[in-house]
Amino acid sequence: MQTPRDISGITTEWLNAVLGHLGEIVDSRASGLGAEETGFLSTMAKAELTWASSDETLPSTIVIKIPPPPGEFHEISENMHAFQREARFYKEIAPGIETRVPHIFHASATHGEEVIIMEDLSWMTPCDQIKGMSHEWICKTVAEIGTLQARYWDNLELSKLDWVPWEWKDNFYSVAGHEEWEAFRNNWKDIIGQRGIEMAYRVEEARDWIDDRMRSRPKTLLHSDLRADNVMMDESGIQPQACIIDWQLVSRGIGAVDLARLFGGSDLIDDRAGHHMEVIRAWHDALVMGGVHGYSIEDATDDFLLSALIVMRIPAFASSLSMAEAEAESRTGQLIRSVVLRFSALVEELDALRVLPS
């Protein structure tokens, strides 16, 4: 049976074909997830299910993820093998980790049949990229990702994941060339100012040095798109726990990239000033508790500074896409503006350019 390419294709018949191992579905109703129905690399839907069985453990609602409609982001998704990466993450990696991620009922990485069916997490508290995350929640999230990264820290388990690309390949961090940097400087010169433009030139010029430095550092597993929109908070227990979603860009590389991605892009500029060491320590503590040795807090800080330069490639890459032309007040427009401002400010806050050779 053909895998749906849009929400109208999510029928009871198809759901029974892929979820029949759970039981018989007698009725279903699928709908888009409001303003978030179409993401950048996927389309999301929610389905309400009526089961033949009275078993209360069966899900009454599920979330279904399919590729985006034809166009720019569909091409990016295919080029980066986004669905293949995420489906294999849930099938091969998620069962063996402690980090909270969505429970998956079905996942297919077959070309032309890409789909992921997961638990409905709407009972959790969603984080918001534009509004930003609280400093407390950012620390909890980096501790979660640190626990995962400790398991794969520069070891045989990581080398076995040869289907997971390195962060300098098949990723936002690998596709920002001169054309993208020029678009970044031209599109945002009135926002980042002359200092921002000069910073962008230095980061671009140091690309080869940065890439070589990335390759020389300890490697682990990365989310690679760790930002507020990909974090849900479970507040049902005594302490909130971060649930990390959307693993389409799972990669191998230096762990601090996830740290800089989250702190730089999701912690509000005015709130985060002077607090970066708290976030680094929360992450480093999780690594140590997970069994990582020989990686000091000074090493973590140096990698964080390097990563602040690496994540600047994200707004550079985005500046060459159609999203850069979105209306300023639209959600897409606000998203890209927040990324440009926050990542540029992070480099200046940390004086991150000091890690580059003089």
Of 88, 119, 150, which marks where a domain is finished?
A: 119
Residues 235, 142 share a domain: yes
Residues 130, 107 share a domain: no
Which range marks the domain in which residue 18 is found? 7-119
Q: Give the CATH number, domain containing residue 173.
A: 3.90.1200.10
Tokens matching residue 333: 């427009």
- Asked if residue 2 is part of any domain, the answer here is no
Alpha-carbon span 191 to 169, nearest angstrom: 30
Residues 150, 71 share a domain: no
Residue 85 has what pLDDT?
94
Residue 167 has what pLDDT?
85
Residues 253, 107 share a domain: no
- Give yes or no for a contact between 67 and 83, defined as CB atoms under 8 angstroms apart: yes
Pairing of strands 115-119, 125-126: unpaired
- Kindly report, residue by residue over 323-332, the tens digit of the pLDDT: 777 787 888 8
Q: Which residue has the tokens 């503006």?
A: 337
Of 119, 142, 174, which marks where a domain is finished?
A: 119
- Give yes or no for a contact between 137 and 144, defined as CB atoms under 8 angstroms apart: no
Residues 99, 192 share a domain: no
Q: Give the CATH number, domain containing residue 64.
A: 3.30.200
Residues 257, 183 share a domain: yes
Residues 78, 54 share a domain: yes
Q: How far is CA 119 from CA 39, 305, 314, 316, in A?
A: 18, 36, 29, 34
Q: DSSP letters along 51-95, please?
A: ESS--TTS-SEEEEEEPPPSSHHHHHHHHTTHHHHHHHIIIIIGG
Residues 137, 70 share a domain: no
pTM of structure: 0.93
Q: Where are the beta strands (DSSP E) in 144-290?
A: 220-222, 231-234, 241-244, 251-253
- Give yes or no for a contact between 44 and 36, defined as CB atoms under 8 angstroms apart: yes
Residues 129, 65 share a domain: no
Alpha-carbon span 261 to 139, nearest angstrom: 13
- Give yes or no for a contact between 170 and 81, defined as CB atoms under 8 angstroms apart: yes
pLDDT averaged over 10-residue windows placed end to end, the chain, 358 residues: 88 96 96 65 92 96 91 83 94 95 94 93 94 94 97 96 87 77 92 94 94 95 95 91 95 96 93 92 98 98 97 89 79 89 95 94
Closest by CA to 176, choosing from 201, 197, 204, 198, is: 204
Specify the number of domains making up the chain.
2
DSSP state, 34? G
- Asked if residue 1 is part of any domain, the answer here is no
Residues 144, 233 share a domain: yes
Of 119, 146, 169, which marks where a domain is finished?
A: 119
- Give yes or no for a contact between 106 and 117, defined as CB atoms under 8 angstroms apart: yes
Alpha-carbon span 205 to 175, nearest angstrom: 15
Residues 225, 348 share a domain: yes
- Give yes or no for a contact between 47 and 61, defined as CB atoms under 8 angstroms apart: yes
Residues 100, 204 share a domain: no
Q: How far is CA 264 from CA 48, 83, 203, 322, in A?
A: 37, 26, 16, 23
